[in-house]
Amino acid sequence: MTVFVEVAERGSLTAAAEVLDMSRAMVSRYLAEVEGWLGARLLHRTTRRVSLTGPGEAALARFRQMLEIGEALQGELASDDPEPHGTLRVTASVSFGQSHLARAVAGFVARHPAARIELLLVDRTVNLVEERVDLAVRIARQIDPSLIARRLATCRSVLCATPSYLQARGTPTAPEHLAAHNCLTHHYVGKSLWQLHRDGRSLSVAVGGNISANEASLLLEAVRAGAGIAMLPTYQVAPLLRTGELIELLPDFSLDELGIHAVYASRRQQPAIMRPGLAPAGQGEHMNHGQALIDHNRAAWDRQASEVREWSRPVESSTIAAAREGRWQVHLTPRALPLDWLGDVRGRRILCLASGGGQQAPVLAAAGAEVTVFDLSDGQLEQDRQVAARDGLQLRTVQGDMRDLHAFANGSFDVVFQPISNLYVPDVRPVWSECHRVLARDGMLMASFYNPVLFVGARDPQLDAQGLIRPQYAIPYSDLEDLAPAEREAKLARGDALTFGHSLTELIGGQLDAGFVIDRFMEDWQPQPRFLIDRYLPTFLATRARRIG
């Protein structure tokens, strides 16, 4: 069965023989035995390629199922040797390998001392079979359908340049301005035509410059030397954007996104060392705290926005009209925020952080603030854009992860307003650090979060009916690590956002450690209790913190 499936997937007896480490004659003999056993011709053979007959297509589907069942059983019975061991040959691009893969490999071999990794960093497409490579990390729109690919993350890019270049040549404020700049290009990605997107529309911009390269690391060094503007992946330039060494250009536009894929030739004869990292898709225990989590929670909030749930229900025009007249209120917790927390917002630069949905930001804009909305979900941001268009408001929307605000320069805002959203990230301290960076001196961070006690109790309706709260989970809490596998899989299948319960040391102490001074604190009750504990204490907490220095 294995031989037949390999031949069918590769379309060649020779290629299958190479993978299976047997002669072509042996492959041909095994195929003859399978066809004789089934009493049907399974393959059309030519001098160069083979293709499936009708019975062959039916046999391929069944054989794949049988092999997968066998692999699963083998995995269950191999529990006496769970430790990954052996040699794994991995290939990736030079830039990705240097930025991410080297650290990941070092961590892997530290955890699994019986493992050995051979890295091949090249900027070409490696033939996995001919070069005997077990695993490739490829950044591309599409992967060869003859290979098996697991999407790991999304590769996003930005346009960037140094402050010195922009001072000398000027800062482009519209896509058409790029034609007047020295644009450093990649041989394979947008060499002379860059695609920019905004509000559902795409714009092709012809660019040119005096440097072109086949490797992103070379372009990065040229940009850092002040040579021009380049389109570079965020995994490479995010640290430089945060420090201000590079400046992101045209942040209101997005660029083409590529997938980051783990690619391998066959599920069979897979080295045991690969199995921990390439378990079947959809198993929550293998979703890490990186891009997979971000993509899942983004999709969850996009869906909530489409369903117009509680935190995705845009305000009415009457609310905007009242705000323009000075009668307004916003919410960090269920009850309206005390007016003296914010004061007069006219002319103040406010970042509504991870708070899209058409609720807080439009009200603040109508009250006279200069508002930027930053959210992971484009569906949530679309709610804000629709309210702005409906009521004639000026709003800027930016999509991204709240832990990485590289889109904004130091001291860009007077207020950061963040209601109940940091439970969707596994680490909250980067949020506080980024908020501190983008706030001006004496700027204010207004944040709310759940009392961590909310995450401790067992989620059992029978216990709730008896008025019993049974501690089950410790803090910090994680849906990924603390839920039972069946509960976790059910949550993933429903498409619900994954949550994390942070300690007060992280939620409040983290603000202090980032350089804030907390000058206001508030508790609030859940008006519609979801958990039994909601009936006994206020589970919403809110702080106002000032950036000192």
Task: Report residue 65's pLDDT band, with 50, 70 and 90 as the boundaries.
Answer: low
**SS3 call for 447:** strand
Instruction: Judge if 139 and 151 occupy the same domain.
Output: yes
pTM score: 0.54
109 with 217, same domain: the answer is no
Count of CA atoms in the C-beta half-sphere (13 A) of 243 = 6
Classify residue 483: in a domain, yes or no: no
Higher pLDDT, 282 or 182: 182
pLDDT level of residue 71 (50, 70, 90 thresholds):
low
Whether residue 381 is found in the same domain as residue 320: yes
pLDDT tens digits for 418-470?
999 999 998 899 899 999 999 999 999 999 999 999 999 998 888 888 999 99
For 354-420, give the secondary structure using H, E and C: CCCCCCHHHHHHHCCCEEEEEECCHHHHHHHHHHHHHHCCCEEEEECCCCCCCCCCCCCEEEEEECC
Tell me, yes or no, whether 112 and 139 share the same domain.
yes
Shared domain check, 420 and 351:
yes
Quick check: is 441 in a domain?
yes
Asked if residue 267 and residue 404 are part of one domain, the reply reads no
CATH number, domain with residue 48: 1.10.10.10
pLDDT at residue 83, as a whole number: 64
Higher pLDDT, 247 or 17: 247
- Residues with Cβ within 8 Å of 116's Cβ and at least 6 positions away in sequence, in order, are 86, 87, 88, 109
Looking at residue 80, what is its pLDDT?
A: 47
Q: Residue 311 pLDDT more than 80?
A: no
Same domain, 128 and 268: yes
Number of domains in the chain: 4
- Residue 144 and residue 166 in one domain: no
Instruction: List 205's β-bridge partners, or say none.
Output: 194
Name, of 388-397, 473-482, 488-497, the range with top average pLDDT: 388-397
Task: Assign 288 a pLDDT band (cuts: 50, 70, 90).
Answer: very low
Percent of the chain's residues with pLDDT above 70: 88
Enumerate the β-bridge partners of residue 261: 138, 151
Tell me phi and psi for residue 362, to 5 degrees. -60, -35
CATH number at residue 207: 3.40.190.290
What is the pLDDT confidence band of residue 103, given thresholds at 50, 70 and 90?
confident
DSSP string, 318-338: HHHHHHHTT-----SSSSPPP
Residue 184 covered by a domain: yes
- 125 versus 544: the higher-pLDDT residue is 544
**96: pLDDT strictly greater than 80:** yes
> What does the DSSP 8-state code read for residue 350?
E
What CATH number is given to the structural domain containing 401? 3.40.50.150
Where a domain ends, among 227, 248, 278?
Answer: 278
Strands 229-233 and 183-186: parallel
**pLDDT for the residue numbered 490:** 80
Res. 177: pLDDT tops 60: yes
| Residue 292 in domain | no
pLDDT of residue 77: 45
Name the nearest CA neighbour of 481 among 296, 298, 291, 284.
284
73 & 176 share domain = no
Secondary structure of residue 50 in the 3-state scheme: strand
Same domain, 364 and 507: yes
What CATH number should be reported for the domain holding residue 140?
Answer: 3.40.190.10
Burial category of 390 from C-beta neighbours within 10 Å (exposed 0-12, middle 13-18, buried 19 and up): middle
The answer, yes or no, to whether the previous bond of 476 is cis (omega within 30 of 0) is: yes
> Residue 473 has which token pair?
């989970």
| Average pLDDT over all residues of the chain | 85
Residue 287 has pLDDT above 50, yes or no: no
Which pLDDT belongs to residue 283?
Answer: 35
Neighbours of 210 (CB within 10 A): 10
Residue after which a domain boundary falls, among 18, 47, 77: 77
Determine the number of helices (DSSP H) and then strands (DSSP E) in the chain.
20, 24
Question: Domain check: are 407 and 434 in the same one?
Answer: yes
Q: Which of 215, 247, 278 is the last residue of a domain?
A: 278
Residue 271 pLDDT level (bands cut at 50, 70, 90): low
How far apart are alpha carbons 445 and 364 in whole angstroms? 15
Better-scored residue on pLDDT, 70 or 312: 312
Query: Any residues with CB less than 8 A from the CB of 183 and at least 6 apart, and which?
Result: 194, 207, 208, 209, 228, 229, 230
User: What's the rounded Cα separation, in Å, for the pair 363 and 383?
Assistant: 13
Task: For residue 480, tell me if it sits in a domain.
Answer: no
What was the pLDDT predicted at 238?
82
Establish if 289 belongs to a structural domain. Answer: no
Q: Could you tell me if residue 460 is inside a domain?
A: no
- Domain membership flag for residue 64: yes
pLDDT, residue 24, reads: 81
> Which domain range does residue 137 map to?
86-155+259-278
Residue 391 shares a structural domain with residue 432:
yes
The larger pLDDT score, comparing residue 306 to residue 349, is at 349
Termini Cα distance of the chain: 69
